[in-house]
Amino acid sequence: MAVRVAATLRLADLMGDRAVGVDELAEESNTDPGALERLLRHLVAHGLFAEPTPGEFSVNETAALLLSTDPAGMREALDLEGFGGRMDVAFTGLLHTVRTGQPAWETVFGAPFWQYLDDNPRISESFDAMMAASPEFLADAAGGYDWAELSHVVDVGGGTGALLAEILQTGPELRGTLVDLPETIGRARELMASRGLADRCEFAGQSFFDPLPTGGDAYVLGRVVHDWDDEQAVAILRRCAEAAAERGRVVVIETHGGAGDNPAAFAEMSLRMLVIAGGRERTVDSYRALAAAAGLQVENVSSTPLGHVIFDCVRVSG
Ligand SMILES: C[S@@+](CC[C@H](N)C(=O)[O-])C[C@H]1O[C@@H](n2cnc3c(N)ncnc32)[C@H](O)[C@@H]1O
């Protein structure tokens, strides 16, 4: 928690490349000088930050990882006032989750996860930004499917459009529709415009539990199904199946399709999804069963170079 507080207060950024007295740091971080000094001494004792002269603190090699400019993005991930830190705090409700089988988010923060994001635009923005800032997922997922045969891709729960942008860049003729909640769609318009794709993309600010825009020849669900329990996952897949109609496809992209060669990551993420929103990680067979319950048939399952899994589904006729 001490590290998270240091990250949240941007102490490394405030120090930059100089040793800074605790009073100045307290003023700049709007904190109590005595409490801040105790926090920093505790961190220094563990090798994070240095105290070159008594009462003055500076960034050492480890604390440099907390600079906002560090490419690993650790400061943002640990920020208690952003999505990353909130997600960690949700785990203080793990006992409740294990006793009841219900997500901890509501007991810790007073509202279910998606409702909470809707009520807290700053955290919602931070969530969207974290989703959009996963180049290892986005490029890999977009490169893992042959979009060339398609003309209109509908990305359902597509966030601010980072994946759809990658997909549209695979072919100049490809058009897209981005479906997500209205707040997120507001931010998506900016992202698509900044990538020069605004004229090839339509936007639908709506719930994916409601009827989806028709006319697409592929309905993509990227990292969406694992957010939900089976009943809700089937409901979302069914909306995609309805909109895809006879000739469309439903393309489900997930980080895991089973424990595979990284059982620790699969187990951790499956617990995380439950604690946050009541979702889960699933095996390939479980995804097949969900698809079948939604009137879809999985025609092909493929793995991307980085191990993400793509289910290519069509509607079961009749
Ligand atoms: C885990 S994020 C995945 C975002 C994106 N597909 C990606 O892979 O980066 C889940 C997305 O579902 C959206 N979402 C949640 N509930 C929704 C609902 N009822 N209707 C539409 N979108 C929803 C969220 O706003 C979020 O953008």
Distance between CA atoms of 260 and 56, rounded to whole angstroms? 49
Q: Tell me, using a 6 A CB cutoff, whether residue 281 lines ligand 1.
A: no
Distance (angstroms) between ligand 1 centre and the Cα of 222 equals 8
Q: Three-class SS of residue 249?
A: strand
Which residue type is seen at 4? Answer: R
Sorted by where each begins, the domain ranges of the chain are 2-66, 77-127, 132-315
The rounded Å distance from CA 180 to ligand 1 centre is 6
Which of the following is catalytic: 152, 226, 256, 308? 226
Kindly state the DSSP code that residue 139 receives in the 8-state scheme.
H
Q: Is the pLDDT of residue 92 over 90?
A: yes
Q: Is the pLDDT score of 106 beyond 90?
A: yes
Q: What is the pLDDT of residues 247-294, one digit of tens each?
A: 899 999 999 988 887 899 999 999 999 999 999 999 999 999 999 999
- Ligand 1 site, residue 254, Cβ cutoff 6 A: no
User: pTM for the full model?
Assistant: 0.93
Hey, which of 83, 126, 131 would you mutate to test ligand 1's pocket, going by the most ligand atoms within 8 Å of its Cβ? 131
* CA dist., res. 45 & res. 34, Å (int): 17
Does the C-beta of 278 come closer than 6 Å to ligand 1?
no
On the question of pLDDT at 318 being above 70, the answer is no
Pick the CATH number of 77-127 from 3.40.50.2300, 3.90.380.10, 1.20.140.10, 1.10.287.1350: 1.10.287.1350
Does the structure show a pLDDT above 80 at 317?
A: no
Query: Do the beta carbons of residue 225 and residue 287 sit within 8 Å?
Result: yes
- Pure H helices in the chain: 2-8, 11-15, 22-29, 33-45, 74-78, 83-90, 94-100, 105-109, 113-119, 121-132, 135-143, 162-168, 182-194, 230-244, 263-277, 284-293
Sequence-distant (6+) residues with CB within 8 A of 227 are 273, 277, 279
Amino acid at 219: Y
Summarize pLDDT for 52-68 with one digit per residue, the tens.
999 999 999 999 999 99
Q: Check residue 261 and give its pLDDT.
A: 79
Residue 46: active-site member: no
**How confident is residue 128, by pLDDT bands cut at 50, 70 and 90?**
very high
Mutational test site, ligand 1, from 145, 167, 224, 269, max ligand atoms within 8 Å of CB? 224
The protein residue with its alpha carbon nearest to ligand 1, atom 20, reads: 207
| Nearest residue by C-alpha to atom 3 in ligand 1 | 223
CATH number corresponding to 2-66: 1.10.10.10
Give the mutation target among 181, 210, 212 for probing the ligand 1 site: most ligand atoms within 8 A of CB.
181
Residue whose CA is at the smallest distance from ligand 1 atom 13: 157
**pLDDT value at residue 133:** 85
Q: What pLDDT band is residue 297 in, cutting at 50, 70 and 90?
A: very high
Residue with tokens 């290519």: 312
Three-class secondary structure of residue 171 per DSSP: coil
Output the CA 315–ligand 1 centroid distance in Å.
23
CA angle 85/264/162 to nearest 5° reads 55
What share of the chain has pLDDT > 70, as a percent?
100
Phi then psi dihedrals of residue 250, to 5 deg: -120, 125
Give the Cα separation of 284 and 264 in Å (integer): 17
Question: Which of the four pLDDT bands, split at 50, 70 and 90, describes residue 174?
Answer: very high
CA pair distance 78, 315, nearest whole angstrom: 42
Whose CA is closest to 216, among 105, 84, 69, 315? 315
Q: Whose CA is nearest to atom 10 of ligand 1?
A: 224
Angle at 29 between CA 25 and CA 33, to 5 degrees: 55
Output the six-digit token pair for 234.
């089937």
Cα-to-centroid distance, 60 and ligand 1 (Å)? 38
Instruction: Reply yes or no on whether the pLDDT at 135 is more than 90.
Output: no
- C-alpha 179/C-alpha 239 separation (Å) is 12
C-alpha 306 to ligand 1 mean position (Å): 22
Please check the confidence at residue 246 and state whether its pLDDT lies above 90: no
3-state SS class at 203: strand
Residues 75 and 66: beta-carbon distance below 8 Å: yes
Mean pLDDT in residue range 142-165: 94
How much is the pLDDT for 304?
A: 92
User: Edge-to-edge, what's the strand order for the sheet holding 50-53?
Assistant: 20-21, 56-58, 50-53
Q: What is the CATH number of domain 132-315?
A: 3.40.50.150
Side-chain half-sphere of 65: how many Cα atoms within 13 Å?
10
